[in-house]
Structure 1
Amino acid sequence: MPAVIVRIGEWLPRGWGDLFLQLLLYVIADTGYELARGMADGRANLAFANGERIIDVEQSLGLFFEPGMQSSILNMQWMVDAANTVYLNSQFTVALSFLIWMYLFRNDHYYFFRNMLFV
């Protein structure tokens, strides 16, 4: 085995086998998620009805502020671009970095977090 692979393996809390198992679990979870999303296609009417119910609840609680906020921000293209950039980076970069950090440096807590993420 090349020395670099052995040295990297020494940094892994539970070795290469566990790392590959974790990656396989994420691939399986993502595949299941995509299959479930595919089964939900064509049910847009139900999604919109559920969205309207959420809006009704927000309005009754005095929490429905999104239209006013969105209309004020949509006039500032730089703000829209910044929000999209932050969302994209947060969604992927921050989440992936956190998972890697947890796996490498807080390994005992990682498995609980992973299980909660899958649930």
Structure 2
Amino acid sequence: MARRAVLVKTPADATIADVVENLDHPIEYVRRILEKLERCRRAHGDAQVRIGVLGRAECPNYLIEYITEDPKSGQQSVHPDAAYSGSTHRELAPRHVEEARNWSSEEMNITAVSALIGRLRSRAS
């Protein structure tokens, strides 16, 4: 029997750590995000993730971003890398990236996501 999606309102400032208890397969979900973060970090030197606050709470879509800094002004800029489906982990169309209301106002950097998966794995053993 198929499991029905539970409607859970995701707060506009939620991070993966905030919703991890609602995820269908938390370790696998976070592991797949970490793969995307690593790829972005190799390409751009930095990576962070925002989760989707609209849609399915048990496997929210997510947006991978990176930060650049202007060497003269020191001003930092956030750039989207790609958005991914939370259920398939396949890249979404660019129009999803551009819709700011889709994404949490808070992000987690790659270090925080690595620590989260470590905690999830230690809890599971």
What's the TM-score bracket when you normalise by the shorter of the two chains? Answer: under 0.3
Normalization by structure 2: what TM-score?
0.25
Decide which structure has the larger Cα Rg and report it.
Answer: 1
Higher share in helix: 1
Q: TM-score, normalised by structure 1?
A: 0.26
